[in-house]
Structure 1
């Protein structure tokens, strides 16, 4: 199962880019259509306004993307993004210029 450090933000019930967000490890299915994060099963979906995944159980919408080195992960302003403890080392290395784990070749 592919695993990447990702930016994850809850979109449902929050103003644009104001939902809780994290930098953390996300596991993906072989086809990249399903993501697993914090015990949730997130399915890729099109046609949503501000989201690219939804929770298969609750329907909540999420935005998943690779993190930005300049920490501008939210589109419309600063947001407080938590970093999961098990991702801190990989994220700090990325900020210092290392490729993201799993993305060494692109």
Structure 2
């Protein structure tokens, strides 16, 4: 669990070290909304939003900070803590596992 106040800095640090083909998952405390970020190339990320909206974005690392700020405000409006999971090697097109993380 990470604080929402420092979430963007923590996620950006994790994304810089994330190998291609791996993904991370941001979830609310109740685990009912999520943002999955998968590294698809050297400087490309695919972001899947699942919650109030269901959207897909393809963005470079330079635009990730602005997108994260928007998504955290929209998907986690009243959260103070955010769950951060390292999914390891993950296919961005595969559905998320319904297991309790």
TM-score by length of 1: 0.30
Q: Which has the higher contact order (CA 8 A, sep 6+)?
A: 2
Structure with the higher fraction of residues in helix conformation: 2
**Looking at CA atoms only, which structure, 1 or 2, has the larger radius of gyration?**
1
TM-score normalised by L of structure 2 = 0.31
